[in-house]
Amino acid sequence: MKPFVHKLSISIYLIIILVTIVSLTYIGLSFYRLPIEERFYSPLYQQLKPSGFFGHGLGILGSFIMLFGLFSYMIRKRFQIFSRIGVLKYWLEFHIFMCTLGPIMILFHTSFKFGGIVSVGFWSMAIVWASGIVGRFFYLQIPRTIEGRELSLLEVQEIKEKLDIELLEKYNINFSEISTDKISHLKSISKSISGKDYRKIKRLIRNEEKIVRRIARLDKMKNLFNYWHFAHLPFALIMIIILIIHVVVVSFWLGYKWIF
Ligand code: HEM
Ligand code: HEM
């Protein structure tokens, strides 16, 4: 994917999420702000209650979007036969988008009223969502290939060596010598080189510093990321089990059918 197309897709994701939050709030704010006992008398009650046409629809659509974002990523990541369909890190961005949009719709489906066993499912979903943000941070700390595969320490060291060589051969700069006082070193060489080269050197040094920092904490981050999966996954599982029970109870026991 070209950088422009990538930026465009992220912007579209953000716009869809913002438009959804703003329009759902605009439509229902006066209803959601009412105390539970007064809601029944609101003209919006029939539409916006969790079993109403709009509220129920949000529950179904939101759950579908979230589960699609979840399983599409898992399938793409785990099954070799799908490895050619798109780059994994873009699938993760799609996962984050769908698993944010879906829970927002589900939040409006509950009409901000949490009761019964399904509230455990709701809070599990909230925990998975929040832990996702922490996991995304760890994920970004681990150097990867463009495809999204984690690099080994050896591979990261090779990248550092390449940067070392580029700085030395092209600009006669030894990274290990300048790393203690970069600013004054850069200032001193800035007089003898063009502005374009200066910017290039600055970028190379910044990249190398980033790599050095990442090498220093690579093991720690990989361990933390592995442990993190043990928090993210079980809550996702609890949420799915309760979601299945909830759907069975409301559809088969209580008999809510939405439009079907
Ligand atoms: C993770 C997804 C979901 C969560 C967290 C969730 C959560 C909730 C909550 C908190 C309530 C209100 C309970 C109360 O009145 O105290 C509710 C009601 C309801 N939900 Fe969901 N829901 C989800 C998905 C769905 C789906 C997919 C359907 C469609 C089958 C659905 C259909 C309903 C219905 C019909 C009610 C009204 C039940 C009643 O008034 O007794 N929900 N849901
Ligand atoms: C309620 C919504 C969410 C659910 C149910 C969910 C569920 C999952 C599951 C089950 C996995 C494991 C996939 C696998 O290893 O095959 C996963 C991975 C991941 N999720 Fe989520 N997620 C949600 C939201 C988020 C959010 C909002 C973010 C980030 C802001 C996020 C970031 C991640 C990351 C970084 C991974 C690890 C990717 C990897 O190891 O390859 N998730 N998610």
- Ligand 1 touching residue 115 (CB < 6 A): yes
Residue ID of nearest Cα to ligand 1 atom 29: 60
Q: For residue 156, which of 175, 141, 137, 136 has the smallest C-alpha distance?
A: 141
- Ligand 1 touching residue 241 (CB < 6 A): no
Residue ID of nearest Cα to ligand 1 atom 22: 59
Place of tokens 């007089």: 191
Can you tell me the distance from the alpha carbon of 3 to that of 181, in angstroms, rounded to the nearest whole number? 34
Digit-coded pLDDT (tens) for 10-50: 999 999 999 999 999 999 999 999 999 999 999 999 999 99
- Ligand 2 touching residue 132 (CB < 6 A): yes
Residue ID of nearest Cα to ligand 2 atom 9: 233
- Ligand 1 touching residue 59 (CB < 6 A): yes
Q: Lowest-pLDDT range, 128-132, 147-151, 175-179, 230-234? A: 175-179
Domain ranges of the chain: 3-149+232-253, 153-218
Cα end-to-end span (Å), the chain: 40
Q: Count CA atoms closer than 13 A to 85's CA, side-chain side.
A: 13
225 has pLDDT over 80: yes
Sign of the Cα pseudo-torsion (137, 139, 141, 146, in order) = negative
Q: For residue 36, which of 50, 22, 21 has the smallest C-alpha distance?
A: 50
Q: Count CA atoms closer than 13 A to 96's CA, side-chain side.
A: 18
Greater model confidence, 59 or 201? 59
Exposure class string for 159-187: b at 16+ Cβ within 10 A, else e: bbeebbebbeeebebebeebeeeeeebee
**How many helices, marked H, and strands, marked E, lie in the chain?**
11, 0
Digit-coded pLDDT (tens) for 188-208: 665 666 666 777 777 777 777
Residue ID of nearest Cα to ligand 1 atom 43: 110
Residue ID of nearest Cα to ligand 2 atom 38: 92
185 has pLDDT over 70: no
- Cα 137 to its chain centre, rounded Å, is 9
Greater model confidence, 162 or 196? 162
DSSP 142: S
Computed over every residue of the chain, the mean pLDDT equals 87
161 has pLDDT over 90: no
Whether the CB-CB separation of 80 and 142 falls below 8 Å is answered with: no
Percentage of the chain beyond pLDDT 70 is: 91
- Ligand 2 touching residue 130 (CB < 6 A): no
- Ligand 2 touching residue 222 (CB < 6 A): no
Ligand 1 atom at shortest distance from the alpha carbon of 60: 27
Between the alpha carbon of residue 89 and those of residues 71, 84, 100, 114, 156, the distances in Å are: 15, 13, 17, 34, 18
DSSP 256: -
- Cα 90 to its chain centre, rounded Å, is 10
Distance 219 CA to ligand 1 centre (A): 42
- Ligand 1 touching residue 51 (CB < 6 A): yes
Can you tell me the distance from the alpha carbon of 109 to that of 47, in angstroms, rounded to the nearest whole number? 11
pLDDT of residue 195: 66
Residue ID of nearest Cα to ligand 2 atom 16: 74
Residue ID of nearest Cα to ligand 1 atom 25: 59
Whether the CB-CB separation of 246 and 118 falls below 8 Å is answered with: yes
119 has pLDDT over 80: yes
Whether the CB-CB separation of 246 and 51 falls below 8 Å is answered with: no
Greater model confidence, 21 or 156? 21
Sign of the Cα pseudo-torsion (135, 91, 238, 64, in order) = positive
149 has pLDDT over 80: no
pTM of the complete model = 0.86
pLDDT of residue 182: 60
